[in-house]
């Protein structure tokens, strides 16, 4: 379908609001989250090298408990979840002897496009001061029983609804030893051939104050990468020429989350943090980024360094250790609520399109993209190259007749703008914006393409 030349008329709404739907975020239970964190802390340690077989202590018991919670959620929705362990054997710098590594996952299949997946995940393993010490008590309350409880609660709440696309809930292990569980799941997803719309990685999401007394219970940080990890030399060269260092799918997922958060008066605000993770540190969203999948990390606004990765002790009057006493459960409930709202919307929305923009030595700009499954229409966005947000909504294109869609914006002097397009479902759920720059697509990039 070829659209006529359109003047760049600005439309008012900054974000297509979904049709009136019930808000599953309101079903999140702070009490259940607290009970789940208490249960996980009760395993004494969840270190990846701890016992796999002890029924009461160690990583094995914690994973069995976790998949049991998924099974209970499934029983409550008429067996709507497929639950399973995925496993491998790993060794490495922080795993001196080969060890069995398992993730517990629950799959809520989509009814229309089951191959499209949104992943909500948290790592369930814990550690003390010495990353190799599998014996010491390691409650890992905030890091990361909080993100694991969030994942389980999201499964309970969202499994009461039916979605056109698939949601995967994952409890990962081996994070503290080197992101092994994240790598295992990212490989698994690749082997299945699934299309990953978004990975919401939750790691340290249940506290609001630092040890220095600085508190913030109103924001949650969203970490996103700029230059995408899977861009090869040819793509990076095109990014330097055309723009694209600030328009990865991860970055646009971050913008989308920020815009979504602003729609809820009772919710947290998003603090977009434009780096892959905290300085010099990592998390289980990184293995997905490495493979070209859109992924972000949720984490608390204020990190508490004396109550993570620390053996329980008192030193010079300072209490160390990652205990429940240091957590903020109302805050955890709000982060959970936001994950639920985001996954609900993402699971309804189509994939963002792959868009190209041509404005080379011409006054108008030609945007082109292929139709997307499940899209009832598309929204064209732009922003100045130095602006943070998609603040100008230009035009709305309908679903078309199945042929390539092209929109000419004139006169628009493309050099001064970044353009993008979102997909919109029939119920009004809008995808993140896919930027019309090299590496903007929400799909893994081809590798080794040095021809351009």
Report how many residues bind Zn ion under the rule CB under 5 A. 3
**36, 69, 203, 430: residue in contact with Zn ion (rule CB under 5 A):** 203
DSSP secondary structure of 274-295:
-SSSSTT---TTHHHHHTT--E
Q: Which stretch binds Zn ion (CB under 5 A): 136-144, 162-170, 372-380, 444-452?
A: 136-144
* 95-126: b (≥16 Cβ within 10 Å) or e: beeebebbbbbbbbbbeebeebbbbbbbbbbb
Asked whether position 143 contacts Zn ion by CB under 5 A, the answer is: yes
Interface with Zn ion (CB under 5 A), residue from 144, 148, 165, 254: 144
Cβ 176 to Zn ion shortest distance, Å? 7
CB 145, min distance to Zn ion, A: 10
Residue number with CB closer to Zn ion (24 or 147): 147
- Cβ-based nearer residue to Zn ion, 16 or 141: 141
Instruction: Work out the number of other CB atoms within 10 angstroms of the CB of residue 427.
Output: 14
DSSP character at residue 205: -
Of residues 294, 396, 404, 395, the one with CA closest to residue 356: 404
Q: Where does this chain touch Zn ion (CB under 5 A) — which range of 137-145, 162-170, 290-298, 416-424?
A: 137-145
Q: Choose the binding region for Zn ion from 41-49, 81-89, 151-159, 200-208 (rule: CB under 5 A).
A: 200-208
Q: Which one, of 431, 416, 9, lies nearest residue 259 by Cα?
A: 431
Segment contacting Zn ion (CB under 5 A): 139-147, 184-192, 315-323, 404-412? 139-147
Provide the minimum distance between the beta carbon of 142 and Zn ion in the complex, in angstroms, as a whole number: 9
Nearest to 61 by CA among 70, 72, 71, 50: 50
Q: Closest distance between Zn ion and the C-beta of residue 127, in Å?
A: 9
Q: Which stretch, 88-96, 138-146, 242-250, 418-426, contacts Zn ion (CB under 5 A)? A: 138-146
- Closest approach, Cβ 134 to Zn ion, in A, equals 17
Q: Shortest gap between Cβ of 141 and Zn ion (angstroms)?
A: 11
Quick one: 144 or 235, whose CB is closer to Zn ion?
A: 144
Given the DSSP bridges, would you call strands 165-172 and 365-369 parallel, antiparallel or unpaired?
A: unpaired
Q: How many CB atoms lie within 10 A of CB 68?
A: 14
CB of 10 to Zn ion, least distance (A): 43
Shortest approach of Zn ion to residue 122 CB, angstroms?
A: 8
Q: Comparing C-alpha atoms, which of 18, 5, 10 is closest to residue 393?
A: 10
Q: Which stretch binds Zn ion (CB under 5 A): 5-13, 64-72, 198-206, 246-254?
A: 198-206
Under a CB-based contact definition with an 8 Å cutoff, are residues 63 and 50 in contact? no
Strands 195-202 and 269-273: unpaired
Separate counts of helices (H) and strands (E) for the chain: 9, 17
Shortest distance in whole angstroms from residue 44 CB to Zn ion: 18
Which listed range, 76-84, 197-205, 265-273, 400-408, lies at the site for Zn ion (CB under 5 A)? 197-205
Q: How far is the CB of 203 from Zn ion (least distance, A)?
A: 4
Looking at beta carbons only, is 277 or 430 nearer to Zn ion? Answer: 277
**Residue with Cβ nearer Zn ion (153 or 203):** 203
C-beta atoms surrounding 334 within 10 Å: 23
Rounded Cα distance between 43 and 141, Å, is 11
Closest residue by Cα to residue 372 from 346, 348, 352, 392: 352
Q: How far apart are CA 246 and CA 437, in angstroms?
A: 10
At what angle are helices 329-348 and 146-158 packed, to 10 degrees?
50
Pick between residue 197 and residue 297 the one whose CB is nearest to Zn ion.
297
For residue 98, the Cα-to-chain-centroid distance in whole angstroms is: 30
Minimum CB distance to Zn ion smaller for 27 or for 306: 306
C-beta of 177 vs 252, nearer to Zn ion: 177
Residue (278 or 354) nearer to Zn ion, CB: 278
Contact 196, 347 (CB under 8 A): no
Nearer of residues 175 and 441 to Zn ion, judged by Cβ: 175
Positions that interact with Zn ion (CB under 5 A): 143-144, 203
């Amino acid at each position: 379908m070829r659209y006529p030349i359109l003047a760049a008329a600005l439309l008012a709404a900054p974000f297509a609001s979904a049709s009136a739907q019930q808000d599953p975020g309101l079903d999140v239970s702070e009490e259940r989250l607290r009970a789940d964190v208490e249960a996980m802390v009760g395993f004494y340690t969840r270190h990846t090298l701890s016992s796999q077989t002890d029924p009461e202590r160690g990583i094995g018991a914690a994973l069995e408990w976790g998949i049991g919670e998924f099974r209970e959620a499934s029983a409550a929705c008429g067996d709507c979840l497929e639950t399973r362990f995925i496993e491998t054997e790993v060794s490495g710098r922080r795993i001196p002897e080969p060890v069995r590594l398992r993730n517990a996952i629950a799959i809520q299949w989509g009814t229309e496009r089951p191959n499209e997946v949104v992943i909500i995940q948290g790592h369930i393993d814990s550690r003390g001061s010495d990353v190799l010490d599998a014996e010491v008590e390691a409650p890992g309350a905030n890091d990361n029983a909080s993100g694991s409880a969030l994942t389980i609660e999201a499964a309970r709440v969202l499994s009461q609804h039916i979605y056109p696309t698939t949601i995967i809930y994952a409890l990962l292990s081996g994070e503290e030893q080197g992101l092994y569980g994240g790598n295992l799941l990212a490989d698994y997803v690749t082997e299945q051939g699934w299309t990953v719309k978004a990975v919401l990685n939750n790691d340290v999401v249940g506290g609001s104050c630092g040890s220095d007394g600085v508190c913030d219970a109103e924001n949650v940080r969203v970490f996103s990468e700029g230059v995408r990890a899977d861009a090869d030399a040819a793509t990076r060269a095109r990014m330097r020429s055309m723009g694209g260092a600030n328009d990865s799918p991860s970055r646009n997922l971050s913008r989308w989350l920020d815009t979504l958060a602003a729609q809820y008066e009772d919710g947290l605000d998003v603090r977009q943090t434009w780096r892959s993770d905290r300085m010099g540190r990592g998390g289980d969203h990184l293995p997905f980024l490495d493979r070209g999948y859109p992924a972000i990390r949720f984490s608390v606004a204020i990190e508490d360094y004396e109550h993570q990765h620390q053996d329980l002790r008192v030193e010079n009057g300072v209490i160390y250790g990652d205990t429940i006493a240091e957590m903020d459960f109302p805050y955890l409930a709000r982060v959970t609520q936001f994950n639920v709202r985001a996954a609900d919307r993402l699971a309804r929305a189509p994939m963002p399109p792959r868009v190209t923009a041509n404005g080379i030595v011409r006054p108008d700009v030609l945007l082109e993209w292929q139709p997307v499954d499940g899209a009832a229409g598309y929204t064209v966005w732009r922003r100045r190259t130095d602006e943070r947000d998609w603040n100008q909504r230009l035009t709305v294109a309908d679903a078309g007749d199945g042929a390539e869609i092209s929109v000419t914006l004139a006169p628009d002097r493309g050099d001064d703008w970044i353009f993008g397009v979102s997909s919109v479902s029939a119920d009004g759920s809008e995808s993140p914006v896919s930027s019309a720059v090299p590496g903007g697509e929400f799909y893994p990039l081809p590798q080794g393409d040095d021809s351009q």
